[in-house]
Structures are given as structure tokens and as C-alpha cells.
Amino acid sequence: MVVVSTPDSVLVVGASAAGLSTAEALRRQGYRGRLTILGAEEHLPYDRPPLSKQVLSGVWEPQQAQLRPRAALDALDAELILGDPAVGLDVAARTVRTASGRSLRADAVVIATGLRARTLPGQDGLAGVHTLRGLDDAQSLRKDLLAASRAVVVGDGVLGSEIAATARSMGLDVTLAGPQHAPMAMQLGPFAAELLSDLHAENGVRLRLGASVAALETAGGRTTGVRLETGEVLPAEVVVVAFGAAPVTDWLDGSGLRLENGVVCDACCRAADGIWAVGDVARWHHDGLGTMLRLENRTNATEQAAAVAANILGEDRPYVPVPYFWTDQFDAKIQVHGVLPTNAEVDIVDGATADRRFVALYRQAGRTVGVLGWNMPKQTRLRRSELDTNAIATPTGGTS
Ligand SMILES: Cc1cc2nc3c(=O)[nH]c(=O)nc-3n(C[C@H](O)[C@H](O)[C@H](O)COP(=O)(O)OP(=O)(O)OC[C@H]3O[C@@H](n4cnc5c(N)ncnc54)[C@H](O)[C@@H]3O)c2cc1C
């Protein structure tokens, strides 16, 4: 097996959180060779968490989501090629073909192409129906929300819950529909998901949970709402489809890489000799958990990027993070370290749930496997040290 430990050139495909962080980590860790970052979008690299919060609500101008000022990007000394998606990869030659016909070769290629939102049948081309993954999506959704009075959000996961909260804060009549018994039940477990459910209800979000959406209702090329499996119709001028996203790997079809719910990698995030994957698109073997894992969260994008950069430079160390994610909805800042198994004992160790300021420890067989903080970021961080990282198994929060 040929392992490139000191490449002369690195090509990063995907110019967002994970891709840019990999490039920055390479430079920070002393890499001085040729560096190219290839992105499908025309925008300078931007951050996605603000899209469903500050950008959608209008608290931020879209450019405030930009990850780095132009000067910092220039200081990276990287060639930034934007608006030209990769369309193919020759693994043996480590060469990427782009839509415009470029052929880019490098000693190491990093795949950081993230996710694409899933859609409902019949959604394409229908006015008033949105997904939210990129900056253009956020701007177009905001425009429609500003002109509407009723919105339905299809999807009771993190993104759907956040969009429902933001749209409601913008004054719309909002219904959140999805198959779970409470918003984010899969990520938060029953205890915290019930609290979140209460928070949404108190803020006026109509919850239509426990029923899947059967179809979009339409008239004259526009949506008029959604129909649930139960037959109930939820009328709306705007429908947001937020029921998951799929790894962007179609450009790798036929490359010989293993593509199963992401780019399959070893414990060091290596997909093949000289080929690496990072961020939402990467599914790697987490040696600590003893399982394949793909994390869809912002912190992982940065942490995995640092690990991949070190491994490209020859460290060859397995990536074994403690899963972490956060979400902001209404006045709640929720943070989760580790995992929150449904059968765990939940112990409030700081604050009180009645005050909506608390830290809960999740224990299984006497060992702390998860920490959930609700509007107590400092205490949550401190409590993280109580996690028994060896005991964390069967991941849940923000993972797939
Ligand atoms: C609206 C929203 C809100 C979120 N909020 C939170 C939050 O509150 N907390 C949290 O922890 N996480 C949140 N996340 C998740 C977090 O943003 C992601 O985990 C993170 O963006 C992953 O970074 P990434 O670089 O792996 O993928 P992405 O950010 O998806 O970037 C992938 C990039 O690759 C580009 N690309 C795709 N195909 C190609 C191609 N063929 N060639 C070249 N480039 C290509 C894309 O255009 C994109 O720029 C949120 C995500 C979204 C969408």
C-alpha cells in the first residue's frame, strides 16, 4: 500500500465548513505545498448554521454568514476555484474533472461535498415549496415567508424545528408536521424533546406530530399546503421540506470508492490511498464506538478537518471525537455532548427545568454517556469532563 505522507499538492473538493477548515488546518500544521479548493457554488465559503436562524430571520445580512473575510482567504495561499462542481474522480491518478472541463491532479484529494436536501415527490418547479441547505435557499425562503401568512414545515428533526421557530418568530402562523411524537425526539430523547415540544407550543407553533405527510396540495403551479396520511389538509402559502439530506456522492459514482450513506472511510478518514473524506459526507469507522459513523454537525466539520489534515501529513491517527451538536430555537440554546440513549437515567445537576436553564447528565449502568445543556453553556462545558467516553455507545444525537 502506498501512503503519501508528505504530499506536494492537496486538492479539497467542497468549499464550505469542512473543506475550508481542512485547508486552514493543513497550513496551521505546517503544510507549504500547493493547495487548491474547488467549490460548486459561486459564493465565497459561508457557514450554514446561521441560515436557519439569523439569515432567515433577517437579523443578519447574508454576507455575515461568510466564514472568512477575503483577506484571510488570500492569506491561505490557496487557489480558490468557485462555481465549478467536480463531476468525476480518477482515484488511481488522483485527478478530479470539473463541469467546466478542468482536470485537477493532486497528491492528496479531500472530499468535502456535504449533503443535499431531500425533496418530496412533485416538489420541483412548484412555487412556494422550499428546502434549506444553502445561502440562495435561505434568501429565497425568507422572501416567500415575508409575503406569506401561513407556513407548514415538513420534518420534525433539527432543521425543521429551527425553521419552524424562526418562521414563527417572524410572525407567521406555523405548523410543524412530522412522524415523531415530539420535535427532535430522535436527537434529544423523550425528556428534552417533550420540553422542546412545550416550547414550540407555548410560542404558538401548531404541532401536527405523529403523522407523516402524504403529498403536497397544489393549485395553478403553486403549493396550497400539505395533506397528511390521516387525510387532514394543512393549508399554507409556503411549505418547507426539511426531512433530511443525502450525502453528495453522485459525482463519485463509478470511481471505485465505496459509497454507502456517504464516502466510506477507515478510522483515519481515508477512503483510498491519497483520498480522504471530511465533514457531513464522510462515513468513517469510529474506533472508540466500534461502529461506522457519519456526523452532520458543524463542530465535527472543524474537528474532523484537523484530524484529516494531520493524517494527510502523515500522522495516521484514528479520529475518535465525542459527538457534539447544538441548536438554537426561540430563547433556547441547547447543547449536547456525547449520546442521549432513550433508556438512560436523566439527572438534572445544575439549574432547573422549570426555569428553562439546566444541565442534565444521562447515565447508563452508572456511567455518564451524555450531557445536555439548556441555556447554560458554561456549566454544560464544565460538565462535559464528567463524560465516560469509553462508555459511549450506540450514538444518537445528530448522527446517522
Ligand atoms: C440550515 C442549516 C442549519 C444548521 N444548523 C446547525 C446547528 O445549529 N448546529 C450544528 O451543529 N450544525 C448545524 N448545521 C449543520 C452544519 O452546517 C453542517 O454539519 C456543516 O455545514 C457541514 O459542513 P461540510 O463542509 O461537511 O458540508 P457543507 O456545508 O454542506 O458543504 C459542502 C460544500 O460542497 C459543495 N459541493 C457539493 N458538491 C460539490 C461538487 N461536486 N464539487 C464541488 N463542490 C461541491 C457545496 O456547494 C458546499 O458548499 C446546519 C446545517 C444547515 C443546512
List of residues 6+ apart from 140 with CB closer than 8 A: 130
Instruction: Indicate the residue among 203, 228, 243 that finishes a domain.
Output: 243
Considering the domain architecture, whether residues 97 and 18 belong to the same structural domain is answered as yes
What would the mean pLDDT of 218-242 be, rounded to a whole number? Answer: 96
Ligand 1 and 163: CB distance under 6 A: no
- Residue 212 scores a pLDDT above 70: yes
CATH code at 386? 3.30.390.30
User: Residue 108: what pLDDT?
Assistant: 98
Residue 400, in any domain of the structure: no
Do residues 30 and 102 share a domain? yes
Residue 319 placed within a domain: no
Pairing between strand 86-90 and 95-98? antiparallel
**Cβ 14 under 6 angstroms from ligand 1:** yes
Measured from the Cα of 14, ligand 1's closest atom is 34
Question: Which of 283, 312, 341 marks a domain boundary?
Answer: 312
Q: Using one digit for the tens of pLDDT, what is the confidence trace for 4-58?
A: 468 999 999 999 999 999 999 999 999 999 999 999 999 999 999 999 999 999 9
Q: What is the mean pLDDT of residues 215-232?
A: 95
Task: Give CA–CA dist 145/128, Å, rounded.
Answer: 9
Q: Which atom of ligand 1 is nearest to the CA of 115?
A: 30
Residue with cell 462545558: 381
Please provide the average confidence, as pLDDT, over all residues in the chain: 95
Residue 2 covered by a domain: no
The answer to whether residues 49 and 156 belong to one domain is no
Say how far apart CA 162 and CA 264 lie, in whole Å: 29
| pLDDT over 50 at 69, yes or no | yes
- Alpha carbon distance 389, 339 (integer Å): 10
Query: Whole-angstrom Cα distance, residue 147 to residue 283?
Result: 40
Please check whether residue 395 lies inside any domain of the structure: no
Q: Are 176 and 183 in contact (CB under 8 A)?
A: yes
Is residue 235 domain-shared with residue 350, that is, in the same domain? no
- Kindly report, residue by residue over 73-116, the tens digit of the pLDDT: 999 999 999 999 999 999 999 999 999 999 999 999 999 999 99
Distance (Å, whole) CA 347 – CA 186? 19
Ligand 1 centroid from CA 346, angstroms: 32
Atom of ligand 1 at shortest distance to CA of 296? Answer: 19
Nearest CA to ligand 1 atom 49: 16
Verify that 39 and 109 share a domain, yes or no: yes
Does 297 contact ligand 1 (Cβ within 6 A)?
Answer: yes
Is residue 318 situated within a structural domain?
Answer: no
- Out of 196, 227, 243, pick the residue that ends a domain: 243
189 lines ligand 1 (CB under 6 A): no
Cα 131 to Cα 12: distance, rounded to the nearest angstrom: 26
Q: Residue 4: its pLDDT value, please?
A: 46
What span, in angstroms and rounded, lies between the C-alpha atoms of 42 and 275? 25
State the cell numbers at 344: 438512560
CA of 16 to the centre of ligand 1 (A): 6
Residue 398 has pLDDT above 90, yes or no: no
Instruction: Tell me, in angstroms, the distance from the centre of ligand 1 to residue 280's CA.
Output: 7
- Cell numbers representing residue 258 in the block: 465505496
Q: Which numbered atom of ligand 1 lies nearest the CA of 20?
A: 25
Spatial separation of the C-alpha atoms in residues 371 and 324, rounded to whole Å: 10
Pairing, β 108-111 against β 275-277: parallel
pLDDT for position 289: 84
pLDDT at 300 over 90: yes
CB of 303 sitting under 6 A from ligand 1: no
Q: Integer distance in angstroms from the first to the last C-alpha of the chain?
A: 30
Does residue 334 line the site of ligand 1, with CB under 6 A? Answer: no
The CA 135 to ligand 1 mean position distance, Å, reads 10
Q: List pLDDT tens digits, range 236-259.
A: 999 999 999 999 999 999 999 999
CATH code for the domain in which residue 289 is found: 3.50.50.60
Cα of 301 vs centre of ligand 1, distance in Å, is 9
Question: Does 207 share its domain with 66?
Answer: no
Verify that 123 and 236 share a domain, yes or no: yes
pTM: 0.95
Burial class (CB within 10 angstroms; exposed 0-12, middle 13-18, buried 19+) of 110 = buried
Residues 147 and 206 in one domain: yes
- The tally of domains found in the chain comes to 3
Q: Is 37 exposed, middle or buried (0-12, 13-18, 19+ CB in 10 A)?
A: buried
Evaluate if residue 393 carries a pLDDT over 80.
no
- Give every CB contact of residue 332 below 8 A, 6+ residues apart in sequence: 196, 199, 356, 374, 375
User: Which one of 298, 304, 325, 328 would you pick to mutate in the ligand 1 pocket, going by the greatest count of ligand atoms within 8 A of its CB?
Assistant: 298
Residue 45 and residue 106 in one domain: yes
Please, are residues 127 and 294 in contact by the beta-carbon 8 Å criterion?
no
The grid coordinates of residue 19 equal 473543506
In the chain, the percentage of residues whose pLDDT exceeds 90 is 92
Q: How far is the CA of 69 from the centre of ligand 1 (A)?
A: 19
Q: pLDDT by residue (tens digit) across 16-31? A: 999 999 999 999 999 9
Q: How far is the CA of 194 from the centre of ligand 1 (A)?
A: 28
Give yes or no: residues 222 and 208 share one domain.
yes
Range of the domain at 360: 331-390
Q: Is 325 in the pocket of ligand 1 (CB under 6 A)?
A: yes
Average pLDDT for 67-74: 97
Q: Measured between alpha carbons, how far is residue 212 from residues 58, 216, 233, 244 in Å?
A: 30, 12, 12, 14
CA distance 283 to 305: 13
d(CA 263, CA 304): 14
Residue 128 near ligand 1, beta carbon < 6 Å:
no
How is residue 125 written as a grid cell? 418547479
Task: Name the closest-CA residue to atom 3, ligand 1.
Answer: 49
Residues 123 and 234 in one domain: yes
Whether ligand 1 lies within 6 angstroms of the CB of 86 is answered as yes
Q: Which atom of ligand 1 is nearest to the CA of 280?
A: 26
| Beta carbon of 22 within 6 Å of any ligand 1 atom | no
What separation in Å is there between the alpha carbon of 17 and the centre of ligand 1?
Answer: 7
pLDDT at 397 exceeding the cut of 70: no
Handedness of CA 17, 23, 27, 29 (dihedral sign): positive
Dihedral (CA of 122, 39, 89, 299) sign: negative
Q: pLDDT for 317-363, tens place per residue? A: 999 999 999 999 999 999 999 999 999 999 999 999 999 999 999 99
| Residue 389 pLDDT > 80 | no
Examine the domain organization and report whether 181 and 264 are in the same domain: no
Indicate whether 2 pLDDT > 90: no
